[in-house]
Amino acid sequence: MPFFNVDKLSISFGGLKALQDISFNVDKGEIFAIIGPNGAGKTTLFNCINGIYKPDSGSVLFKEKKMHGKKPDKIARLGLARTFQNIELFSHMNTMENIMLGRHIYIKTGIFHGATMWGRRSYAGKEEITHRRKVEEIIDFLDLQSVRNKFVGGLPYGTQKLIELGRALALEPELLLLDEPCAGMNSEEKQDMIFWIKDIQDELGITMLLIEHDMNMVMDISDRILVLNFGKSITEGTPQEVQRHPEVLKAYLGEDETVGHDS
């Protein structure tokens, strides 16, 4: 069995068929991109994968375990994390606190014990130290030391996107879904994000599913690409193969590279 498998996945909203029999496999360690014009179904596909939507039919398997039909928190515990198109950080909290929120699935102490701590020698205190140590590793990895104690609401947009990525990494995922990680970034911020994504693949060995409208980025970092249009699969292959496909040229690559967001 492949590391990650989507088989004949379909979902409709009223009379609209948002996804129709979508199938693909992802190998461990790959960066697998999903592209397509506005409204092609890319974000809907992500929502089905991580449990926000329940598909009408088809299956999603991760390391041979059924994912479809499970709630997002259960899916996260199986080793899947996600970033979103729009930043979902807590602006009144600092970088360390926002990334710490990604550790919530590993916290075993109850709210009362976690709040009182009962001294640093308590189990809750030791657990807190362990989680903070992991977050510090992520802060070092993403070079966020200079903003670790700053409220994220006052930080540059590109830095906030990086912090959101750090919070996803705090879940220690084996599969990471990146929903337009470069959306709204300037060219310098995009280059930095490309650098971090490649580092996550090379140094952490995390498999990634990527939605992105920036074609230069997609072609540069992806191992394979799935192209969607109107909820259907057009083709799948390497960046070179996809670039030459006539239906892709017609449906997507011939259009403006900065197509709007999925609805």
Would you kindly state where each structural domain of the chain is located, as residue ranges? 1-81+235-263, 92-172
Give pLDDT, residue 123: 52
Q: Is the pLDDT of residue 248 over 90?
A: no
CATH superfamily of this structure's domain 1-81+235-263: P-loop containing nucleotide triphosphate hydrolases (3.40.50.300)
Phi and psi at residue 177, in whole multiples of 5°? Answer: -95, 120
SS3 state at 214 = coil
Number of H helices, E strands in the chain: 10, 10
Return d(Cα 80, Cα 171) in angstroms, integer. 8
120-156 as b/e: b if 16+ CB within 10 A: eeeebbebbeebeebbeebbeebebeebbeebbeebe
Q: Is the pLDDT of residue 90 over 80?
A: yes
Give pLDDT, residue 231: 95
Q: How confident is the model at residue 109 (pLDDT cuts 50, 70, 90)?
A: low
Give pLDDT, residue 69: 84
Q: Is the pLDDT of residue 67 over 60?
A: yes
Cβ 114 vs Cβ 142: under 8 Å: no
pLDDT, the chain, mean = 87
Give pLDDT, residue 122: 52
Q: Is the pLDDT of residue 135 over 60?
A: yes
What letter would DSSP give residue 58?
Answer: E
For residues 76-93, give the mean pLDDT.
90
Q: Is the pLDDT of residue 256 over 60?
A: no
pTM: 0.86
Helix axes 123-141, 157-169, angle to 10 degrees: 130
Return d(Cα 44, Cα 170) in angstroms, integer. 24
What letter would DSSP give residue 105?
Answer: G
Q: Is the pLDDT of residue 124 over 60?
A: no
Q: Measuring CA to CA, which residue among 100, 56, 63 is closest to residue 79?
A: 63
Return d(Cα 158, Cα 246) in angstroms, integer. 35
Q: Is the pLDDT of residue 112 over 90?
A: no
For residues 26-31, give the mean pLDDT.
97
CB atoms within 10 A of CB 172: 16
Q: How confident is the model at residue 116 (pLDDT cuts 50, 70, 90)?
A: very low
Q: Where are the alpha helices (DSSP H) in 153-186?
A: 157-169
Judged on CB neighbours under 10 Å (0-12, 13-18, 19+), 5 is middle
Return d(Cα 250, Cα 253) in angstroms, integer. 7
For residues 191-199, give the mean pLDDT.
94
Cβ 102 vs Cβ 132: under 8 Å: no
Give pLDDT, residue 68: 85
Residue with tokens 């397509």: 36
Q: Measuring CA to CA, which residue among 203, 182, 198, 189 is closest to residue 137?
A: 203
Give pLDDT, residue 118: 47
What letter would DSSP give residue 231?
Answer: T
Give pLDDT, residue 216: 87
Q: How confident is the model at residue 37 (pLDDT cuts 50, 70, 90)?
A: confident
Give pLDDT, residue 121: 52
